Each structure stands twice: as C-alpha cells, then as structure tokens.
Amino acid sequence: MATKAHLARADRLQLATGALATAAMAAMDAKLPWFGKLSAQDRSWIGLVAQSGISAFVDWFRDPEAHSSMPTRIFGSAPREFTRVISLHQTVDLVRTTIETIENTIGTLLPPADVPIVHEAIQRYAREVAFAAATVYAQAAEMRGAWDARLEALLVDSVIRGETDESVRSRASALGWTGGIGTTGSAEVAVVVGRAPAAETPPPANGGSNVVDMVRHAAREAGADALCAVQGDRLVVVLGGAGKPVEIVQKLARWFGPGPIVVGPVVKDLMAAVTSARAAVAGLRAVAAWPDAPRPVQADELLPERSLSGDGHARRQLANEVYAPLTAGDGALLDTVSAYLDSGGSIEATGRALFVHANTVRYRLKRVADLTGYNPLNPRDSFTLRVALTLGRLLNPEANNPAL
C-alpha cells in the first residue's frame, strides 16, 4: 500500500502534467524536423498520445500494481491511421523526446526530494512504453500483411479468371508491383502454374502462406516481381519483368510441389496476363500426356497435348501458326511434310512418293523448320506437326477439298 508521502508526491506530479505535456510538444517541434511537416490533425493526435502517456504515468506512479497494464494502453487514444502517419522509428523519437523533456522539467516543477524518485520511475515506465509502441506497430504490420495477402490472392484470381481492368493496375502497385504494368513498355508478364506444396493445402485462413513469401523473395532476387497465390492444390505465380521466364522459374521450382510446372507465354503487361494464364492452366491440365516434359515446361511446348485435351486456343494456334503457313504458295511444303510423316520419317520414301530427289526433300523439310519453328526430323516436333496438319484440315476443310 502506498504511503501518504508517496500519494502526496503523486498529487504534486498530477498538478504538473499540463506543464509537462506542453513542454513535451514544444520539444518535439524544436528537435524533430519531420514533426512540423505533419498536418494539424496529425499533430493533434500525437499531442493527445503524449498527454495520455503522461497522465497514464501519473496513475501508474501512484499505484503500479493497480495500473500494471497502463503503459500498453497509452496508444489507445490514437486512431488506427496513426501507424501510417509516422514510422516506428519516429515513434521511438517521440517517446525519447517526451521522456527527456520530463526528466529535464520535473526539477523545476517538483520539490528536490521528489526528483530522484520520479526520475527512477520514469525510466522504468519508459521501457514499458517502448515495448507498447513496438506491439502497436507489430499488430498494424500483421493486419496489413493479412490484408495484402488477401488482396494479392484476389489479384491473382482476377488474372486467372480474365477479369482484369484498370483497378488491377492500382491494386498491384499498392502491393509494390513495379513490373508488367505497362508504364515503360518494356516490362513483360508471364503466368506460372504448378502444384502447391502439400503443407500449403489448404492455404491458411488469413490468406497468407510461407511458400508465397518465399516465392516472392526468390523472384525478387532473380530480378522479377511476383504476385502469388495458393488456389486449392495449385500454386499460381504472376511474374513481372519476366523477359526469360523459364530461367526465373528454374530458380523458383524448389518452392513448388512435386509434378510439372507450366510457364505461360510472355505478354506485354498485366492487363494481358489472362492470355498467359489461360495457356498455363490448360498446359497443366494436359501435361500428363507428355511424361517426359521438362520441369518447367512452356505452355506452347504443350500445344498438341492441349489441343487433344480440348483447348480451342491451342487448336487455333496450331492451325494458324503451323498449318496455314505451309499452305502458302504451291503447297509443296505441305505435301512434303505430309508425305514425310506418312512414310514414317523416311526421306527416301518421301522422295519416291513425290517423284523428287532426296536432297529436295531435305531442303523442303529445312524450310518447314525455318517457317514453323518445328523440325520434322525431331520426333517431338514431328508429333506437333502431325497434330497441326490434322487440325488444319479439320478447321479448314474448304482449303483441302475444293469440291466442298
């Protein structure tokens, strides 16, 4: 129980709170250059916090046991936006300035006998206030982190669903995204889809994920931006500034679960990322048909599997970018590659079927490779060409049968 002398000392300290608060605000204005640049409202909130802290100290000084939690509650008078106005470092400066002002001022406001006792108490109290400030900022950071995780998951979902609009740009920028928003014209975006690690399925309730943080950090070290989300059993990564996405994804592969990783085609910006996302998702669905696919594998390398699995975009891409160029001119290239594939990959048999020299067949097959990017002499490429020719004939029957 506090003695009468201690209670009298607390009463004298109570009478000095107004002068102490005024002196603290004056010291902040004089010693902290950034304080004077704040708005009047923000300075008012800081003044309330300082006054609240001094009043709380008096109550704690009067009876420490009854007010043991007082230091942790002195920031209760500040709005949530308080932590956005000033940083933790600036808050520490405020606390330090306030404490120094009290220590320098109590000698003129209290009797000499009270000063050492109050000085010792303020040192103990200041330590608790510092911990309280750290707690406030830690909680604010945690709340922002959870909100950022949910916002990031929504952005990735918008890209996957093809619902990107101008709001996606601003929201991505709010998350620190600097690549692939079309501001420089040189940034590129690619969407990557793979299996999520087993530990991340289902994702945490707050939308966050350790693997998401790791992927984002690894992408940043590789020189790219990343928006990440765990969607059920798959991990989706939107890479910004991904001029060479496969090389970047090779550095991120360890954070994906077992199984294939599919990299969508590079597009010009975040608004066009749905094209890359569509191809990557379709590729992940079809990659099981190519057991020896590399990890990671580009979605465009899976065009035949995607076509056979029902991906209309892949079908049209093969028909327009592979089959259509072969039909140009007299159709000799189309006839040659078709005969080559039908002959089981024999150049001599192809030459006999077309009544041309074997070297002519080799020349035409090289032109096919240069024109389409697929070499008929390569087993994998020949499979792609076979599917492309089949789809081209199905999608353009009039070009193959003039009688129709």
Query: Phi-psi bin for 289: left (phi > 0), alpha (psi -120 to 50), beta?
Result: alpha
Q: Ranked by mean pLDDT, which of 57-61, 118-122, 192-196, 223-227 comes out on top?
A: 192-196
Average pLDDT over residues 2-17: 84
Give the model confidence (pLDDT) of 178-192 as tens digits: 764 444 344 689 999
Closest CA to 86 of 42, 129, 52: 42
Name the band, by pLDDT with cuts 50, 70 and 90, for residue 404.
very low
Long-range contacts of 124-128 (CB under 8 A, 24+ apart): 125/57, 125/60, 125/61, 125/71, 126/95, 126/99, 128/71, 128/72
Both 52 and 119 in one domain: the answer is yes
What's the CA gap between 164 and 128, in Å, rounded?
48
In this model, does residue 315 exceed pLDDT 90? yes
Please, are residues 322 and 384 in contact by the beta-carbon 8 Å criterion?
A: yes
Q: What is the pLDDT of residue 150?
A: 74
The C-alpha angle 118, 121, 122, rounded to 5 degrees, equals 85
CATH number at residue 347: 1.10.10.2840
| Count of structural domains, the chain | 3
User: Are 90 and 201 contained in the same domain?
Assistant: no
Q: Nearest Cα to 354, choosing from 334, 376, 339, 342?
A: 339
The CA-based dihedral angle spanning residues 196, 200, 202, 208, taken in that order and rounded to the nearest 10 degrees: -110
Structural domain span for residue 342: 312-400
Picking from 267, 301, 335, the residue at the C-terminal end of a domain is 301
Q: With a threshold of 0.75, does the pTM exceed it?
A: no
> Strands (DSSP E) along 196-264, which ranges?
225-231, 234-240, 261-263
Average pLDDT, the chain: 82
pLDDT at 339 over 90: yes
The C-alpha atoms of residue 321 and residue 305 are separated, in whole angstroms, by 16
- The tens digit of pLDDT for each residue in 272-289 reads 889 999 999 999 999 999
Q: Is 382 left (phi over 0), alpha (psi -120 to 50) or beta?
A: alpha
Flag whether 172 is in a domain.
no
346 pLDDT exceeds 90?
yes
| Residue 293 resides in a domain | yes
Q: Is 248 exposed, middle or buried (0-12, 13-18, 19+ CB in 10 A)?
A: buried
Least confident interval from 81-95, 129-143, 345-359: 129-143
* pLDDT tens sequence across 141-187: 555 556 567 778 788 888 888 777 667 776 777 677 776 444 434 46
Rg over alpha carbons for the chain, rounded to the nearest Å, is 35
Q: What is the mean pLDDT of residues 322-338?
A: 92
Is 248 in the same domain as 192? Answer: yes
- Shared-domain flag, residues 324 and 390: yes
Determine, yes or no, domain membership for 133: yes
Residue 149 in 3-state DSSP? helix
Region of poorest pLDDT, from 162-166, 292-296, 375-379: 162-166
The b-or-e profile of 187-203 (16+ CB within 10 A means b, else e) is bbbbbbbbbbbeebeeb
**Does pLDDT of 115 surpass 50?**
yes
- Is 179 a member of any domain? no
